[in-house]
Homo-oligomer: A and B are copies of this chain.
Amino acid sequence: MNTLPETRWNRRAIEKQRRLARVAGLARGAVLPTHSITQALQQLLNPGDRVVLEGNNQKQADFLARSLARADPGVLHDLHLIMPSVSLPQHLDLFERGIARRLDFSFAGAQSLRISQLLQDGRLEIGAIHTYAELYARLYVDLIPDVVLVAGYMADRQGNLYTGPSTEDTPVLVEAAAFRNGIVIAQVNQVVDDPGELPRVDVPGSWIDFVVQADRPFFIEPLFTRDPRLIKPVHVLMAMMALRGIYERHEVRSLNHGIGFNTAAIELILPTYGEKLGLKGRICRNWALNPHPTLIPAIESGWVESVHCFGGESGMEDYVAARPDVFFTGADGSMRSNRLLCQLAGQYAVDLFIGSTLQMDGQANSSTVTKGRLTGFGGAPNMGHDPGGRRHATPAWLSLVEGQDGLARGRKLVVQMVETFQEGGRPTFVETLDAVQVGQDTGMPLAPVMIYGDDVTHVLSEEGIAYLYKARSLDERKAMLAAVAGVTPTGMRSDAAQVRRMRSEGLVAFPEDLGVRRAEASRSLLAAKSVADLVEWSGGLYKPPARFRSW
Contacts and interface: CB of A to CB of B under 8 A. Distances in A.
A111 to B, nearest CB: 18
Contact of A345 (B140, B160, B181, B345): B140
A305 B9 CA distance: 11
For the complex, would chain A's binding face be called helix, strand, loop or mixed by DSSP majority? loop
A91 to B, nearest CB: 20
B446 A393 contact: yes
Contacts of A439: 406
A137 interface: yes
Contacts of A220: none
A285 B142 contact: yes
Given A325-B12, A447-B407, A178 B348 contact: no
| Total copies of this chain within the assembly | 2
Contacts of A205: 201
B349 A137 contact: yes
Interface in A399-444: 406-410, 432-433, 436, 439-440
A306 B144 contact: yes
B446 A408 contact: yes
Contacts of A29: none
Interface stretch (A210-218, A268-276, A377-385, A482-490): A377-385
Contacts of A388: 381, 385-388, 452, 455
A348 B131 CA distance: 10
A391 B381 contact: yes
Nearest to A435: B407
Could you say which of A285, A330, A448 has the most chain B C-beta atoms within 10 Å of its C-beta?
A330
Interface stretch (A94-102, A236-244, A334-342): A334-342
Given A325-B10, A330-B179, A436-B407, A341 B391 contact: no
A160 B433 CA distance: 52
A101 B203 CA distance: 36
Interface string A169-195: 000100100111100000000000000
A179 B142 contact: no
A365 interface: yes
Interface in A315-366: 322-326, 328-331, 336, 338, 340-342, 344-345, 347-350, 365
A130 B322 CA distance: 33
Interface residues of A, number: 95
A104 to B, nearest CB: 8
Given A9-B322, A179-B330, A392 B141 contact: no
Interface in A224-256: 253-254
Nearest to A390: B134
Contacts of A254: 141-142
A318 to B, nearest CB: 12
A140 B9 contact: no
Nearest to A406: B436
A365 to B, nearest CB: 6
Q: Which 6 A-B pairs have the closest CB atoms?
A: A128-B392, A137-B349, A382-B389, A201-B204, A385-B388, A141-B349
20 contacts: A13-B324, A133-B344, A134-B348, A134-B390, A136-B341, A137-B348, A140-B345, A141-B286, A142-B254, A142-B349, A144-B306, A160-B204, A178-B330, A180-B328, A181-B324, A201-B204, A381-B391, A382-B389, A385-B387, A393-B446
Given A137-B341, A141-B288, A410-B445, 18 more contacts: A9-B322, A9-B324, A10-B325, A11-B325, A12-B324, A128-B392, A131-B390, A131-B391, A138-B392, A144-B306, A175-B341, A382-B389, A383-B389, A388-B452, A407-B436, A407-B446, A407-B449, A409-B449
